[in-house]
A and B are shown apart, each in its own frame.
Chain A
Amino acid sequence: MATGVRRHQTFVFAVALTAVVGCLAVLAAAQSAETPRRGGVLLAAIGADAPSLDPHQEQTFATLQPVSPLYSTLLQIDPYSYPSIIGDVASEWKISPDGLLYTFKIRPGIRFHDSSPLTSADVKASYDKILFPPEGVRSIRKHHYSAVESVEAPDPSTVLFKLKFPSASLLTNLASPWNVIFPKKYLDKDPNHFKSNVMGSGPFRFKSYTRGSSFEGERNPDYFVKDRPHLNGYKYFISTETSVRAAAVRSGRAYVEFRDLPMAEVEAIRKQLGDKVMVQQTPFVIHFDIAINNTAKPFSDIRVRKALNLGIDRYTAGRVLYPLTGLRDVGAFTRPGTEWAMAPAELEKFAGFGRDAEKNRAEARRLLAEAGYPNGFKVVLKNRNIKLPYQDWAVYVIQEWRKIGVEAEHRPLETAAWYADGRDQGSFEVVVFPTGHFVDDPDALLAPFITGSSQNWGRFSNPGIDDLYDRQARTLDPVERRKLVIDLQKIVLEQAYHIPGLWWSRNVVHWAKMKNWVAPPSHFTNQKLQDVWLSED
């Protein structure tokens, strides 16, 4: 009996010991899973090469993703709580009661990678370059800051933004990942210095760049955020081929493709690698359109522009292209489902948004005949030489236009040439044109339609649009502002200045060992990688 009790006690002890050891092991495992590991190089694949390295002057992920980790911005979007705003070099800020003065305090002890201190003078110089670009310097987003009268730096740790009128969007747009802080001393010598050079104060320092091949950064040991970054470095491999980037992720040569991969590739990767990979799916604040050169014949004729709009069945496009590219949602120029979007019933009244595709095509053919093109015409559709989703979108549009007699020759161009022809020189008839921003902000999303904007590739001018843009930027009441935003979009649609396409959605597939990164609905933000870590090499 005693032996039996002893055996029972031994059994209970063994079970208890096993339970305790098990719990400790689980806790340790949980702890090790949650405790960031220092070291490792994050390998990423990217779908294009940068036309230049200056984010102020560019509008492509090909520039921003590789250089973002090298720079700081005044404010930033919270990596874990999109679209909340947190400070970056600014530790605190306040807005005057009349909304006309923004005061920012700069964190002390921030140094650029050449060891020089970052002060308010650098912030002012960077914003002056964006807001008031000197001759020969392009500023893609200066219209987003039309409210700002001046930027001042009264002392090394204070920056003042003085406004002409209160702005609802300014604080958000000051968190733009594009507005990186450059050292003033280089800008003073040459405002275009950073098109081919890098000098920031971000979590990583520049290591190497081989055009068309790779871009590398290494850990900045003097980064102003304590114990960051966790990684020793990062490296982007450049390939315009979707299948090559997918294969890189599949083989582990890249741990992530930050922009997007088609569903078929994502499924194939998930099928092969199982729980070694994670997929983050989000909407995307970017839509793929066709810009029309309104200054060239026959596109100066509204009937031709309307016919081109009517010739595209967008609802079928969303169904066909979503599994191939992620292009899905039909909408105008503000993201469907957001507070700024037009109601579907309202949208359906405009050319190309009616549900009856055959009726739309018949109307398109009638308009073309009326404009003197009863048999259609030939047109060159310029594009960027990136398959996803640029070329797939173009193939769909070309197929659709054939049905109304418009024969489009597809001409894909290398990124720099596509920008040169589309944005800089207007050397095109129609061109594939994406519009996106890091947040759903009307100032940014509607800037491509105002006179003289470098984002207005269609080169049209309408005083009504300019007036509405100006008024919505000044309106603080959301209801009133929404009305102005909708009215502006109606003019663009009525005049068919531009061909809206589809809103994108995002599939980011990454190895599970890449920790602490959350995909926001924009591939422009949360690219600094300061909190990302690798659980293993």
Chain B
Amino acid sequence: MATNIELAHASASATLAPRRSFAEVAARFVRTKPLGAAGAVIILGMLFLAVFAQILAPYDPYVGDYGLQFARPSAEHWFGTDEFGRDVLSRIMYGARIALFVGFFASFIGCTIGALLGVVSAYWGGRVDLLLERLMDILLAFPQLILALAIASILGPAVQNVVIAISIPVIPRVARVVRAAALSVKENVYVEAVQALGASRRRVILQHIIPNVTAPYIIMLTAQLGAAILAEAALSYLGLGAAEPTPSWGLMLSGSAPSYAEKAPWIALFPGIAISLGVFGFNLFGDSLRDALDPKLRKG
């Protein structure tokens, strides 16, 4: 009897182990994943620029000073000016908005639809699974950027169309990963138990499967963010993304930069650095988050 009571206490103490605060989790993340933390700093920096661009940007990114076309980087214009005399630094700050808007929304929409399809496919199985998986096979047959290019060229150049074009190729990739995770969760005893208790499919999916596939979902979401920013830059570079005079990093590289790169290299250099840094930050953070959340890669 005494033994049973001790066991019960032990079990209780295990389940009631104190939860770590966000600060503790963050500190542990910084300690164990310094590169991931560096990525997070870059992302937060981008976010800060995007949110406060209106306050931080020294000039209107849309209106140029016609007396200062192709001005070299200087105290007045840290990153120089472009062919219309527009401040390159201000345009990069505002460009962070487009990059993050497209990155977040395209990844979120693509990953969420993909995750839902993956769960439905895994849980329903049978014909539904067969049909959805073949659909995913078709989408996966196209390289990600080529599919985005095709969709963007059909929809026409606009920021909202870029979001749609980038999110669609994300769907099958996330659906495959989440389906695999959901298939594993579906076989757990507790799922069989709630099914046996008469829980509806909706309840099983929403309360028991989806919460258990959030880790791969979050990993895919962060992994796709960097790719989405790069895809936005690529589509804008090819004239299928945002249109001039929108301050988009990819567009800044494509517009006049190739023609004036010799005369005014700063027009191409700084947007190029911004794209590289943004994608680098998201990739660092995404990799570390995957390591932290994936039990197979977790130490101890």
| Chain A residues packing against B (C-beta within 8 Å) | 240-243, 246-247, 262, 264-265, 268, 316, 319-320, 323-324, 385, 387, 391, 394-396, 398-399, 402-403, 410-413, 417
Known: A324-B83, A395-B84, A399-B245. A413 touches B156 (CB 8 A): yes
- A242-B259, A264-B259, A402-B62 are known contacts. Are A412 and B243 too (CB-CB below 8 A)? yes
* Assembled-state Cα–Cα distance A391/B244 (Å): 8
243-273 of chain B: CB within 8 A of chain A: 243-246, 255-256, 258-260, 262-263
Q: Are A398 and B245 in contact (CB under 8 A)?
A: yes
Residue of B157, B158, B246 with most partner-chain A CB within 10 A: B157
Flag if A264 contacts B263 (CB, 8 Å).
yes
Question: Can you report 19 residue pairs joining A to B where beta carbons are below 8 Å apart?
Answer: A240-B239, A241-B258, A242-B259, A247-B258, A316-B66, A319-B66, A385-B239, A394-B244, A399-B63, A399-B64, A399-B245, A402-B60, A402-B63, A403-B63, A410-B243, A411-B157, A411-B243, A412-B243, A417-B156
Bound state CA distance, A413 and B62, in angstroms?
21
9 smallest CB-CB distances across A and B, nearest first, come from A243-B258, A410-B243, A395-B245, A320-B66, A395-B244, A243-B259, A399-B63, A412-B243, A324-B83
Residue of A nearest to B257 (CB): A243
Q: Does B262 lie within 8 Å of A412, measured CB to CB?
A: no
Max count, chain B CB within 10 A of own CB: residue among A243, A323, A398? A243
Which residues of chain A are within 8 angstroms of B60 by Cβ–Cβ distance?
A: 402
How many of chain B's residues have a CB under 8 angstroms from any CB in A? Answer: 24
Is there an interface contact between B255 and A387, defined as CB atoms closer than 8 Å? Answer: yes
Complex: A324 Cα to B259 Cα, angstroms:
10
Residues on B with C-beta less than 8 A from A246 are: 259
Q: A410-B243, A411-B243, A412-B243 are in contact. Are A398 and B62 (CB under 8 A)?
A: yes
A447: min CB distance to chain B, Å: 30
Is B144's CB within 8 Å of the partner chain A? no
Q: What CA separation (Å) do A430 and B259 show in the bound complex?
A: 28
User: Given A395-B245, A411-B243, A320–B84 Cβ distance below 8 Å?
Assistant: yes
Name the distance in Å between B91's Cβ and chain A's nearest Cβ: 12
- Chain B: which residue is nearest A413 at the CB level? B156
The answer to whether B212 has its CB under 8 Å from any CB of chain A is no
Who on chain A is nearest to B261 by CB? A243
B202 to chain A, nearest CB (A): 42
Contacts of B66 in A (CB 8 A): 316, 319-320
Q: Which of chain B's residues have a CB closer than 8 A to the CB of A385?
A: 157, 239
Interface flags for B157-191 (1: CB within 8 Å of A; 0: not) read 11000000000000000000000000000000000
Distance between Cα atoms of A385 and B157 in the complex (Å)? 10
Chain B residues within an 8 Å CB radius of A319: 66
- Chain B residues contacting A320 (CB-CB under 8 Å) are 66, 69, 84-85
Closest beta carbon of chain B to A361's beta carbon, Å:
13
Nearest chain A CB to B179 CB, angstrom units? 38
Which chain B residues border A411 with CB–CB below 8 Å? 156-158, 243
